[in-house]
Structure 1
């Protein structure tokens, strides 16, 4: 059974309402959590590409990425849980796993199911919530993986947005 039904949550996936690149995050994280995400990507065989600026490199250990100088080129890890859904991990801080998704890619029940499955995999691996905030509205999650429920749940009323 689907975690969420498209007809119930489609407003949360409207780029005009939410911004096209909502912030997805795991708060209260650690370097070990970042490494667990990198290990999960490798174990699942999800296509990925790590880069620093314009330079594509092999995926490093989380500790190496997170200890880079503040003025170094911005690292990112692009992960495709399926060919048509992309998540971009940004490595802004070691205490929060953060990534962006493009809502224009997450239209319809099938893509919603992929997205929920991706959040569920990360949340289960870390044993922590994975939250999605509207773009530019940090700290006001609308949905996320709930550890206790072991599924993605609504955290706001989709009719209010």
Structure 2
């Protein structure tokens, strides 16, 4: 199922305009939402790697990770929803699920479909929006995202005219 067409969103997938690593987020999240995302990794069979600093570790429970002291080593969760496409989750905030995905890995209709499938999987499981903004952009100005009301990825921003 195709939520968006490459021709409609090409500019939102341009690393020069959006930044190579646009920001994706689930606002108003909870620890339970984080745990749902961690569980989703296993049920979907996505490849993943959890690390603390430079040390690769087994995937802990969300409450454990989010209760770490501020001075603790940085943690990251690298997820490959399909081979060759990497999303990096930052387990920093209990109230926001934050991750990056490399637009250079998501070119053409196949890339759009991969991103839509990934956002739809997360958003459907949580019943919450999953928003994409430009790299370093404001979460109040998403360009696209999963809309749980219509159960698909939709455009929020207007691409510049050709």
Aligned to 2:67: 67
| 2:78 counterpart SS class | strand
1:117 paired to 2:136: no
Given the two structures, how large is their TM-score scaled by the length of structure 1? 0.97
CA contact (8 A) 1:23 1:133 kept: yes
Paired residues in the alignment total 161
8 Å Cα contact 1:51/1:77 also seen in 2: yes
Partner Cα separation in structure 1 for residue 87 and residue 29 of structure 2: 18
Q: 2:77 aligned with 1:77, yes or no? A: yes
Which runs of at least 4 in structure 1 moved beyond 2 Å after TM superposition?
none
Partner of 1:86: 86
1-side partners of 2:87 and 2:38: how far apart? 13
Over aligned residue pairs, what C-alpha RMSD do you find? Answer: 1.2
User: Is it true that 1:150 corresponds to 2:151 in the alignment?
Assistant: yes
Is there any run of 5+ residues in structure 1 with no aligned partner, and where?
none
Structure 2 unmatched ranges of 5 or more? none
Tell me how far 1:141 sits from its aligned partner: 0.4
Q: Structure 2: how far apart are the matches of 1:159 and 1:144?
A: 18
* CA distance in 2 between partners of 1:43 and 1:112 (Å): 23
Q: Distance in 1 between matches of 2:40 and 2:52?
A: 21
What TM-score does the superposition give when structure 2 sets the normalisation length? 0.97
Matches of 2:104 and 2:157, distance apart in 1: 21
Partners of 1:70 and 1:93 in 2: CA distance = 11
